[in-house]
A and B are shown apart, each in its own frame.
Chain A
Amino acid sequence: MKRIKSDLLFQNANRVIPTGIYGHMAPGAGLPLDFPHFCSSGKGARFTDVDGNEWMDFMCGFGAVLHGYRHEAIEQAVQKQRELGSVFNQPHFLMVELAEKLVELIDFADWAVFAKNGSDLTTWAIRVAREKTGREYIIKAKGAYHGVDAWCDPGMGGRISSDREFVLEFEWNNLQQLESLLVNHSNQVAAVILTPYHHASFGPSELPSVGFWKNVEMLCKQHDAALVLDDVRCGWRLDDSGSHNYFGFCPDLAIYSKALGNGYAISACVGKDKFRTSAADVFLTGSCWNDAYAFSAALASLQISRENLVAKSVLEKGKYFCSKLEEVGQEYGIKLKMTGVPSMPYPWIEGDEDLYQIQGLCKFAAAEGLYFHPHHNWFISNALSYEDLDQALFIAKKALGKFVEQ
């Protein structure tokens, strides 16, 4: 892969931006010598980097794109809104339309609010739970990602000791630990915040064990703690009406982002009626949060998801791709297991606790133009056709062969 402009741009970036590129897209978090640093365009399930290399994509902007880059119907909706404007003194009327759509789609939702990023609303939601319960503690799963705020971010800098004073953790699927925390902090826990399944980076994803969600729901009810679903990453990839339906439980509050706007920045929090007053009392605003472009993109995106049963589609495509890729691995004696749900699989090689093998494999895949991330769950774009998947499998086989040879 040619990489000249990418490197030059990174040098420039590094002069004017701390670390050049930060967060989950920082070169060090992926494959700094194999992935491009900057992109220039994308269409469907492929993107082009600044050096003109075309990549078949299995990351979808880290989940922010579900229907493919520059999806025609979504771009048309946004273009229509561009002629009218984006941010005004008052919210655009599309905000109401979008809230109504979410309340209609999501069975437990009685209201919705909007922001730009998942973090905006995971943090806001736990404040709503605190306001409602008058309690301080929050319980989360160890290693789970809920955003960039000090109570939960995975970094190390800029913290003070009180940031996590009221955050408790339990091991995913360990109901006994969760119950102990609730009992030991009786009448002090405001909320339990969880993702639909455990999709931490740098390790295999873990699905909820049988009865996990029903028990979590019951424990939250018993202890009067709000059950907050962080559906930012999974939302619209497991079920077209919220991932709680996929696993069969009912949260009190849920947060969505990423796929909701198909690349346009928007997040939403929906909740039950009993949280409405508390929601009203926790201040919420942002400079460009009433962005009509994003509202129009989200409305179009939701419509496509509904009409084309997109969650079902990406689950099926993912299942096809994952099982075939595991077979290819077996052919070469690599115990590759695609963990988690098939629409956002995490690749795990048995015995590769320190990730050397998956890093090697993804390097060879990158050399062939496949964007396979070694440390993060992948995302299956609905723009990938079965022909695309077969092509990706063919290339992956070639890459695996080279990897094994090495």
Chain B
Amino acid sequence: MNDLITSKTLPLWAAARSIYGCGVECLSAKNSQSLVPRILPSGEFSFGTSLIFSPKSFVKVIEGGFALPKIRYFLTAPTGTFRSVINLARVGKVYRSPSQIKEIHGMLNGSLEAICCYLNHHLVAKKAFHDESSRTLTFEIKGMQRKWLIKMDGSNGWQVGACSSLDRASACLAFNDIEVAKNAALGALDSWLSLTNAEIILSGRIPLLDKFGYVSRIAQNEVPRPGR
């Protein structure tokens, strides 16, 4: 599938992984499975086993418009397809107005998934992280146990996962509270200001976070988001 991820398909692939990443946090395991994304050789994007969109329709779905998926699977695999549609709508709702903690966790997880796609497939990002494969990054919200770890996982490339509170990464980004984390995930945080007013606290290997910040800004510019 890696061959199918090009500079043209990467933004939508990152969006698809982000949706899945959000689903993993917000939905049951069974429901999140219905959002596992793939790029098909035809250039279409699929969720689960049977919900398929053309790139154009997928952008419409993300941006909140109505878009028709490939209709034939509604006839041959209606249950699976319908489950994917429902779960996609649930994640869309989270992205539009996250309120519960697990939804904000979902958005953060989704954002980190999207950035990992860029770390693995974007030319500039790959180059920037070429020498960093032995290093790890953690993301946390002060006062909460849930932490995210980004690390290189062999041939799978950079992956985001959970980590224990004992894990000390090469660099750490801590959000001061859940509201800051939400704003960050929504792309509504002024990252320069937030560093000086303690909304975000950076520690450890700062150049690694600098690079990560740069890649995240590239992703933020390119990946379609609800309401954009």
Contacts and interface: CB of A to CB of B under 8 A. Distances in A.
A231 B38 CA distance: 54
A52 interface: no
B196 A32 contact: yes
A359 B205 CA distance: 10
Interface in B94-150: 124, 128
Contacts of B170: 353-354
A14 B193 contact: yes
B3 interface: no
B201 interface: yes
A354 B171 contact: yes
B193 A11 contact: yes
Contacts of A359: 203-204
B124 A202 contact: no
Nearest to B169: A354
B66 interface: no
Interface string B169-207: 111000000000000000000101101111001111111
A19 interface: yes
B93 interface: no
B195 to A, nearest CB: 4
A29 B195 CA distance: 11
B22 to A, nearest CB: 27
A28 B206 contact: yes
B214 A14 contact: no
B167 interface: no
B195 A27 contact: yes
B202 A10 contact: no
Nearest to B127: A156
Given A156-B128, A354-B170, A355-B205, A20 B214 contact: no
A156 B124 contact: yes
A375 B206 contact: yes
A33 B203 contact: no
A37 B198 CA distance: 14
Given A156-B124, A354-B171, A356-B204, A10 B193 contact: yes
Interface residues of B, number: 24
B168 interface: yes
B204 A355 contact: yes
**Number of contact residues on A: which range applies?**
20 to 34
Interface string A13-39: 010000110000011110011000100
Contacts of A27: 192, 195-196
B205 A14 contact: no
B176 to A, nearest CB: 11
Interface string A30-51: 0011000100000000000000
Q: What secondary structure prevails in chain A residues at the interface with B?
A: loop
A28 B193 contact: no
Given A33-B198, A156-B214, A157-B214, A354 B205 contact: yes
Interface in A118-159: 154, 156-157, 159
Contacts of A159: 124
Interface string A229-272: 00000000000000000000000000000000000000000000
Contact of B192 (A7, A19, A154, A157): A19
Interface string A201-221: 010000000000000000000
B130 to A, nearest CB: 12
A28 B202 contact: yes
B202 A356 contact: no
A33 B201 contact: yes
A28 B195 contact: yes
B205 A7 contact: no
Given A156-B128, A354-B171, A29 B192 contact: no
Nearest to A375: B206
Contacts of B196: 7, 10, 20, 27, 32-33, 37
Interface string B202-224: 11111101110010000000000
A340 B200 CA distance: 33
Contacts of A37: 196
A354 B169 CA distance: 8
Interface string A304-345: 000000000000000000000000000000000000000000
B203 A356 contact: yes
Given A7-B197, A14-B192, A354 B204 contact: yes
A195 to B, nearest CB: 18
A202 B195 contact: no
Interface in B50-82: none
B209 to A, nearest CB: 8
B46 to A, nearest CB: 34
Interface string A356-378: 10010000000000000001000
19 contacts: A7-B196, A14-B193, A19-B192, A27-B195, A33-B196, A156-B124, A156-B214, A159-B124, A202-B205, A202-B207, A353-B170, A353-B205, A354-B205, A355-B204, A355-B205, A355-B206, A356-B203, A356-B204, A359-B203
Minimum-distance CB pairs A-B, first 8: A32-B195, A354-B204, A156-B214, A19-B192, A354-B170, A354-B205, A32-B196, A27-B196
Interface of A: 7, 10-11, 14, 19-20, 26-29, 32-33, 37, 154, 156-157, 159, 202, 353-356, 359, 375
Given A202-B205, A359-B203, 9 more contacts: A20-B193, A26-B192, A27-B196, A28-B195, A28-B202, A154-B207, A156-B211, A202-B206, A354-B170
